[in-house]
């Protein structure tokens, strides 16, 4: 079958497995979380075509996808990945602060139960435990 030249954004997001359902894809697009060629869209009926660049704002990340084709169905993940090229820039390397775990010499720090008994005996030699 021949692929359509243009496709609704909600159908494309559903076929490309970006959204779990077409209804969610429509709500996602209508909420303004999708940009097509840097222009914010606010309707699920917006038509996209191969060559368009989508910027999708998800909960914890931003995806930049280039549309390679329009889908016919929601197929398996390998088939869905053929619909787009992920051109999301890699996150900049963040210098994480070095975490130093406290080190102590053996025998230093809190006394053990045995050490406490010896201390108590030393302080109070009269008392028998």
Would the pLDDT of 57 be above 60?
A: yes
In three-state secondary structure terms, 44 is: coil
**Whose CA is closest to 107, among 99, 115, 117?**
115
**Whose CA is closest to 1, among 58, 73, 63, 56?**
73
CA atoms within 13 A on the CB side of 104: 6
Structural domains of the chain ordered from first start? 7-86 (3.10.290.10)
Counting residues of the chain whose pLDDT is more than 90, the rounded percentage is 61
Query: Mean pLDDT throughout 105-129?
Result: 82
Q: How far apart are CA 39 and CA 35, in angstroms?
A: 5
Query: Mean pLDDT throughout 52-81?
Result: 94
Determine the pLDDT at residue 4: 66
Output b/e per residue, 51-85; b: 16+ Cβ within 10 A: ebbbbbeeeeeeeebebebbbeeeeeeeebeebbe
In three-state secondary structure terms, 35 is: strand
Q: Distance of CA 32 to CAs 17, 18, 26, Å?
A: 18, 15, 10
Do residues 54 and 36 make contact, with C-beta atoms less than 8 angstroms apart?
A: yes
């Amino acid at each position: 079958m021949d692929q359509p030249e243009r496709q609704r954004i909600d159908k494309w997001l559903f076929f490309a497995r970006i959204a779990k359902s077409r209804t969610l894809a429509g709500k996602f697009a209508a909420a303004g979380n999708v940009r097509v060629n840097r222009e914010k869209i606010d309707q699920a009926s917006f038509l996209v075509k191969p060559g368009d660049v989508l910027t999708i704002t998800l909960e914890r990340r931003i995806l930049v996808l280039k549309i390679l084709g329009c889908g016919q169905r929601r197929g398996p993940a390998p088939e869905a990945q053929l619909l787009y090229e992920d051109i999301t820039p890699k996150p900049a390397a963040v210098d994480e602060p070095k975490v130093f775990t406290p080190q102590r010499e053996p025998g230093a720090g809190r006394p053990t139960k045995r050490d406490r008994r010896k201390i108590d005996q030393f302080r109070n030699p009269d008392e028998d435990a």
